[in-house]
Structure 1
Amino acid sequence: MKNQWIEFYSGIVTVKITGKGIERFINSLTRANLVIWNVKKCGTNTIIFKMKLSDVHELRKHKRNSDCKIRFLQRSGAPFLLKRLLRNSGFLIGAVGFILVIMILSNMVWGIEIKGAKPVTEHQIRKELTNMGIKVGKLQFYMDDVETIQRKLTNKIEELTWVGVELRGTTYHFQVVEKNQPKKPEVLSPRNLVAKKKAIIVKMFVENGKSQVKLHDRVVPGQLLISGSIGKEDKPKIVAAKGEILGETWYKTSVNLPLKSNFYVFNGQEKIKQSVSLGKLKIPVWGFGKIQYKEYEKETLEKNIRFLKWELPITYVFDTYREREKVTREYSREEAIEMAKNLAREDIKSLLSEEAKIKGEKVLHQSFENGKVKISIHFQVIENIAKAEPITQGDSE
């Protein structure tokens, strides 16, 4: 029979029919559309065949109108297997419980190892880890990922230069580098310092090399500022030019800012749903019911589940729903101009180094069109304009 796997789930019985007129009995079953298969004749008055469990009741009806006797030889399929499992439910519960306990233990933290830290720093790290909820005996599902742990430790403990975090099985491994290690001296190859942009020099400090420009000189990109060639012209000595040349540079930026805009903000309300995911199948564990928020954002965090040292294709999923509200912000013309200036300053600062300073600014153009303020601003900036340029053999001759 082609669909024996389908019949397996509904149940299969092996039937033995004995008596006179078994051929007529089989024909009556066929006319009633009862499905039978593997029909075997054993002797003159005996036939054995298989049929669906759901048709047994109909078989008994046909038996009443015949002189045949029915005997059920074998029962197979899912319903009978389930009965046997329920009969031995103690073993089943024990096996399932054992697997669950092993799985839970495999996803707990059983060790925290810290290498490269002094005893005082190690104590501080362990204390901070406890505050973060990372301790022995806690499930890994409710802990931050290794990147977040690394970032939090680096931000909260000033003594750390770098900390590497790795989760191997049930143990967290921390590799620490502290700030009190001596810095390696910087080795510089022979070089000049040249201008990297147009500028007017406002401040100079030459530590090594020979200055080629003076205060208030206007320089262009590529112009030599500090030469790495010192000494006499006939016997020059090549060194690594070192120093700082501050110059006044110029930037221009344009900003378009709408007077009225809509955006979303979180109001602090959130709901967390937890589930176990196996492929496309998702089994809810915590946080049932529909999300009642009209507007919300969903954030999903997945944690892999392990069994002993193996990672299973099962994940524990945290779905966080945060309610948000739509807010309309409207500026007056004066507020819009001031906000546009602030945005322009932030735009310029993103292009500059931390040491650079904005000396002055001048609005070149401003207008109001289609509900927007359009503004162009010219900035004067003081920054280091020097960059290194290696000295080749041909340059030194």
Structure 2
Amino acid sequence: MKHVQATLLTGYVTIAVKGSMPELFFQRCVDHKIPVWNVKKVNPKTCEGNIRLSDIHMMRRIRRNTGYKVIFSRKKGMPFIIGRFLGKKELVAATLLSGLLILLLSNIVWKVEITGVPIDIEKKIAKELNNYGIHPGAWTFSLEPASDIQQDLLRDIPELLWVGVEKMGTTFHLEGVEKIVVKKDPVSGPRNLIAAKKGIIKKMYVSKGRPLVYVNDFVEPGDVLVSGNLQENNSDKKAKQSEKSPILVSAEGEVIAKTWYEVNVTVPMKTSKEELTGQQERKYYLQLADFQMPVWHFGSPDFEKMQVDNDKKPIYFFNWKLPVSFVESVLNEKRSKHVSHTKSEAMKIGVNQAKHQLRMQLPEGAKIISEKILHESTDHGKVKLTIYMTVEENIVQTQAISGNDEKQ
């Protein structure tokens, strides 16, 4: 049975041998190591038997000068089935077109599902997805990877805490989690406003509370700037105050003060970097394992140096991912650039770099009003700077009023 199964794949034929003692012809085939099976004698001058398709050439060489006549009576196996199929051109064309149509339809987005979020956020997600080109009828080859779509949604929709993007066949499935924003006052109830850092007060805007400091006063971290106790505590009113409960409020306001920072930076006087020139070419491939077959743009660009970015998208047949991928390759020309700076240029770059570093740490609304280089040195082609910067910022920090604070 195993022999028959094997020959069905490679193909075999049934031959009828006619002549005197035809069984001797099959014996001669066996002597030449040609497998023969199902040999039977039809009549005294005719025998039938099966041989492999690949042995027909050798069989014909054996038949020469023997006087036997060989007739092919039956042909079986996959090669003959394929041959008969290929002989029907209309059927072959219809099969190829059907397969191509199914392949194309399998790589189109037919449905977008959004779950796990309220209807208003679902509408926002659907709108953003449409802006990204993700909608029923879109080609999957033209879409970004799922991870990039996820990051884009989290960036463009602040209400989302998390979103999962998954392509399931011809359906894009998105599951999101709404961000619950809890707005709360850092200190509830009566409070003071205290200094978060040392500085000289430049401006004050107090909407609630009793100011305890004034413009041009120097304050240290922890000093009370605005008290939430509206009653003054002095010797003239001490007796009256002891009889009445203090009037406490939640102090509100801004206290803009001049503060100081020290920043250290190091700037190389010689740098080398690579930059893109803006020239690029796009090439498209069908990739199977490590083999790539060009589909569009067959030549290579005349770039001395290039950066290659490949975007690989799998091809589906119904819901099955095929081992073939569609690859878009973007070739960007790049060049090396060597830059040398004088010491004064490096110092200017260092000051700008220090400002940028400091701005990343400062609260919103803070302004750098001046800078001064305290120390500079040159070592191994690098300029090292210590820069003293003056900033104007809101130094207010809230503090709950305790029992002892009520006496202020």
The one-character-per-residue Cα deviations of 1:103-147 (angstroms, maximum 9, x if unpaired) are: 5456567899xx979xxxxxxx99x96xx9899976454466796
Q: What residue number does 1:91 align with? A: 91
The one-character-per-residue Cα deviations of 1:345-379 (angstroms, maximum 9, x if unpaired) are: 11212222341111221112212222222222121
Alignment partner for residue 371 of structure 1, among 359, 373, 381?
381
User: Which of 1 and 2 has greater Rg?
Assistant: 2
The one-character-per-residue Cα deviations of 1:289-345 (angstroms, maximum 9, x if unpaired) are: 33442211112234455667x474564322101011111111122212211221121
Distance of aligned partners of 1:81 and 1:267 in 2 relative to their CA distance in 1, 3 Å threshold: farther
Q: What residue number does 1:317 align with? A: 327
Q: What residue number does 2:115 align with? A: none
SS where residue 76 of structure 2 aligns? strand
Unaligned runs of 5+ in 2: 113-118, 122-126, 175-180, 232-240
Give the counterpart letter for 1:252 in structure 2: E
Q: What residue number does 1:179 align with? A: none
- Aligned pairs for 1:179-328 (under 5 A) are 188=185, 189-190=188-189, 192-215=192-215, 216-220=217-221, 222-228=222-228, 235-236=245-246, 239-277=249-287, 282-303=292-313, 310=319, 312-313=321-322, 315-328=325-338
Aligned-residue Cα RMSD (Å) equals 4.9
Q: Work out the percentage of aligned pairs sharing the same amino acid.
A: 27
Distance of aligned partners of 1:55 and 1:205 in 2 relative to their CA distance in 1, 3 Å threshold: same
Give the counterpart letter for 2:11 in structure 1: I
Q: What residue number does 2:13 align with? A: 14
Question: Cα distance, 1:391 vs. partner?
Answer: 6.7
Q: Is the 8 A contact 2:7 2:77 kept in 1?
A: no
Unaligned runs of 5+ in 1: 118-124, 174-183
Q: What residue number does 1:100 align with? A: 100
Q: Is the 8 A contact 1:301 1:318 kept in 2?
A: yes
Q: Is the 8 A contact 1:106 1:170 kept in 2?
A: no
Aligned-partner Cα distance in 1 for 2:4–2:304: 50
Q: What residue number does 1:75 align with? A: 76
Aligned-partner Cα distance in 2 for 1:296–1:162: 40
Aligned-partner Cα distance in 2 for 1:41–1:382: 106
Aligned-partner Cα distance in 2 for 1:4–1:389: 92
Give the counterpart letter for 1:63 in structure 2: R
Alignment partner for residue 40 of structure 2, among 39, 42, 53?
42
Q: What residue number does 2:347 align with? A: 337
Give the counterpart letter for 1:82 in structure 2: I
Distance of aligned partners of 1:151 and 1:185 in 2 relative to their CA distance in 1, 3 Å threshold: closer
Aligned-partner Cα distance in 2 for 1:50–1:4: 11
SS where residue 350 of structure 1 aligns? helix
The one-character-per-residue Cα deviations of 1:131-179 (angstroms, maximum 9, x if unpaired) are: x989997645446679679979x99xxxx99899x99968999xxxxxx
SS where residue 235 of structure 1 aligns? coil
Aligned-partner Cα distance in 2 for 1:99–1:333: 69
Distance of aligned partners of 1:110 and 1:31 in 2 relative to their CA distance in 1, 3 Å threshold: closer
Q: Is 1:351–2:350 an aligned residue pair?
A: no
Alignment partner for residue 384 of structure 1, among 394, 398, 404?
394
Q: Is the 8 A contact 1:107 1:305 kept in 2?
A: yes
Distance of aligned partners of 1:105 and 1:12 in 2 relative to their CA distance in 1, 3 Å threshold: closer
Distance of aligned partners of 1:390 and 1:317 in 2 relative to their CA distance in 1, 3 Å threshold: farther
Aligned-partner Cα distance in 1 for 2:400–2:31: 100
Q: What residue number does 1:176 align with? A: none
Distance of aligned partners of 1:25 and 1:266 in 2 relative to their CA distance in 1, 3 Å threshold: same
Give the counterpart letter for 1:299 in structure 2: D
Distance of aligned partners of 1:187 and 1:31 in 2 relative to their CA distance in 1, 3 Å threshold: same
Give the counterpart letter for 1:98 in structure 2: S
Q: What residue number does 2:124 align with? A: none
Give the counterpart letter for 1:347 in structure 2: Q
The one-character-per-residue Cα deviations of 1:264-287 (angstroms, maximum 9, x if unpaired) are: 122222110123446656443212
Distance of aligned partners of 1:393 and 1:13 in 2 relative to their CA distance in 1, 3 Å threshold: farther
Aligned-partner Cα distance in 1 for 2:405–2:93: 84
Q: Is 1:360–2:370 an aligned residue pair?
A: yes
Give the counterpart letter for 2:277 in structure 1: N
Aligned-partner Cα distance in 1 for 2:262–2:285: 53
SS where residue 256 of structure 1 aligns? strand
The one-character-per-residue Cα deviations of 1:202-223 (angstroms, maximum 9, x if unpaired) are: 3332233444544423222x55
The range that moved more, 97-106 or 138-147, is 138-147
TM-score (norm 1): 0.70
Q: Is the 8 A contact 1:107 1:170 kept in 2?
A: no
Give the counterpart letter for 2:54 in structure 1: S
Distance of aligned partners of 1:64 and 1:250 in 2 relative to their CA distance in 1, 3 Å threshold: same
Aligned-partner Cα distance in 1 for 2:306–2:3: 48
Q: How many residues align?
A: 366
Aligned-partner Cα distance in 1 for 2:6–2:364: 72
TM-score (norm 2): 0.69
Distance of aligned partners of 1:307 and 1:82 in 2 relative to their CA distance in 1, 3 Å threshold: closer
Aligned-partner Cα distance in 1 for 2:39–2:320: 54
